[in-house]
Amino acid sequence: MFDSINSFLISEIIRLGQFEATSMADENILAMRQLCRYRDSVVSSRTKIKLRISTIMEQIFPEYEKQFSSLWLGTSMDILEKYLIPKNI
């Protein structure tokens, strides 16, 4: 049923000339789309990794995140890089 309705509508649009030619986006627009999609993918991956790290930190060193407004601050990251495990701190 929908095929016959669609066919009728398409034929009417063509018959009445109520259509415009479609053009492909230029190369710069296509490149930007691809770059935006890639960025979105990278940000999504980073978010998942940060969530995993936060979960692990809660398990092995639950009081650590309470000492900083963010686990990801430079000072926090420097401490973790230098001492690695809770007992070294």
Q: Report which of 48, 25, 29 is spatially closest to residue 37, judged by C-alpha positions.
A: 29
Asked whether residue 1 is domain-assigned, the answer is no
47 lies in a domain?
yes
Query: Is the pLDDT confidence value at 76 over 80?
Result: yes
> How large a percentage of the chain has pLDDT more than 70?
98
pLDDT reported for residue 46 = 97
| Tokens describing residue 54 | 């936060």
- Counting every residue written for the chain, the total comes to 89
Contacts of 68 (CB under 8 A, 6+ apart): 75, 76
Residue 17 lies in a domain: no
| Residue 39 falls inside a structural domain | yes
Number of domains in the chain: 1
Is 55 inside any structural domain?
A: yes
Flag whether 35 is in a domain: yes
pLDDT in tens, 35-65: 999 999 999 999 999 999 999 998 988 888 8
Q: Which domain holds residue 52?
A: 24-88
